[in-house]
Amino acid sequence: MPELPEVETIRRSLAPLVSGCRVESVQVRCRALRLPVAADFEVSLRGRTITGLRRRGKYLLIDLDSPKCWVVHLGMSGRLVHRERNSLSDVAKHDHLFVSLADGAGALVFNDPRRFGLSVVTEEQGCPFFEKMGPEPLDQEAFDADYLWALRSRTRRTVKDVLMDQRVVAGLGNIYVSEILFVAGVRPRVRFDRLSRKRIEGIVDGVRTIIAEAIEHRGSTVSDFLDGIGRRGGYQWRHRVYDREGKPCPICETPIRSVVIAARSSFYCPQCQS
């Protein structure tokens, strides 16, 4: 589910509700996430104050008044939601983590049916999740045409595959790469090392445009994404090609096609993209 725009939407919705709050208690109902929840997870959080929320790629970083931060990744189906009441009496199915806040500030609840997500308390420096992660797509200095152009020489992978690679650029996933390649006019199966400079520039523009738009519309709710206070996103109504196989291209009305690359569906317009 959550790619960069969805995680950013969650961050923005939660920040005003939990910043400055102290963690009163932690309950782990299921430790078997993609990485097992560590034995010292509860101890590392309890009594700490949340000083702020940041995002890196698809990861949410909950800063604490300690050298460590609480790092959450939502996988495909994860949610991090704020509940006003933190009574464990209304536990929902697949609620795995309860972080109760002091002074009636409610609780943060991690829910994830597929358990592909993860939750750790760690130092950010040296954390393997971030070690090899590429630049933020909206960082105009670090992510630009020169950067992508320099990467082009040493790979025979498809452009779809390269943009999905978190080491190349952080936070893009299956939905947004389809949308980006549509506005850039590039077919997903094109080899990255055969792109012209002009087309690389178009891709950079596409990344910036689509990601900024998607954040502005608070992410895409394809089936079950909700932000930190249970609101659906709005960007799914603006998808140009994703999950629109057979429907008319918004530009030329040619039916949208889908193709499977590396076991993931990609959607494109055979007329507008080459």
Partner DNA sequence: GTAAACCTGGCA
Partner DNA sequence: TGCCAGGTTTAC
Query: In the bound complex, what is the minimum distance in angstroms from residue 117's beta carbon to DNA?
Result: 9
Q: Which is nearer to DNA, 50 or 172 (CB)?
A: 172
Query: What character string, x for contact with DNA (CB under 7 A) and - otherwise, covers 169-208?
Result: ----xxx---------------------------------
Query: In the bound complex, what is the minimum distance in angstroms from residue 114's beta carbon to DNA?
Result: 3
Q: Is 264 a catalytic residue?
A: yes
Do 80 and 37 form a contact (C-beta atoms < 8 A)?
A: no
CB count within 10 Å of CB 127 equals 17
Query: In the bound complex, what is the minimum distance in angstroms from residue 11's beta carbon to DNA?
Result: 15
* Interacting residues of 36 by C-beta distance below 8 A, sequence separation 6+: none
Residue 13 binds DNA (CB under 7 A):
no
Do 245 and 260 form a contact (C-beta atoms < 8 A)?
A: no
Which residue of 31, 152, 157, 199 would you call a contact of DNA, by CB under 7 A?
157
Return the H-helix or E-strand segment holding 149. Answer: helix 145-152
Q: Angle, nearest 10°, between helix axes 197-216 and 174-184? A: 130
Q: Which is nearer to DNA, 2 or 106 (CB)?
A: 2
Which residue of 21, 220, 257, 269 would you call a contact of DNA, by CB under 7 A?
220
CA distance 46 to 56: 24
At residue 203, the 3 state secondary structure works out as helix
Q: Which is nearer to DNA, 48 or 70 (CB)?
A: 70
N residues, the chain: 274
Residue 94 binds DNA (CB under 7 A):
yes
At residue 194, the 3 state secondary structure works out as helix
Q: Is 58 a catalytic residue?
A: yes
Residue 32 binds DNA (CB under 7 A):
yes
Q: How does 98-113 read in b/e, with b if 16+ C-beta sit within 10 Å?
A: bbbbeeebbbbbbbbe
HSE-CB of 226 using CA atoms within 13 angstroms: 13
The token duo for 119 is 């939750």
Query: In the bound complex, what is the minimum distance in angstroms from residue 1's beta carbon to DNA?
Result: 3
The token duo for 36 is 């097992």
Query: In the bound complex, what is the minimum distance in angstroms from residue 134's beta carbon to DNA?
Result: 11
Which residue of 29, 31, 115, 199 would you call a contact of DNA, by CB under 7 A?
115
Stretch that binds DNA, among 46-54, 97-105, 153-161, 249-257 (CB under 7 A): 153-161
Q: Which residues are catalytic?
A: 2-3, 58, 264
Binding residues for DNA (CB under 7 A): 1-3, 32, 34, 57-58, 73, 75-77, 93-94, 113-116, 129, 155-158, 161, 164, 166, 173-175, 220-225, 261-265
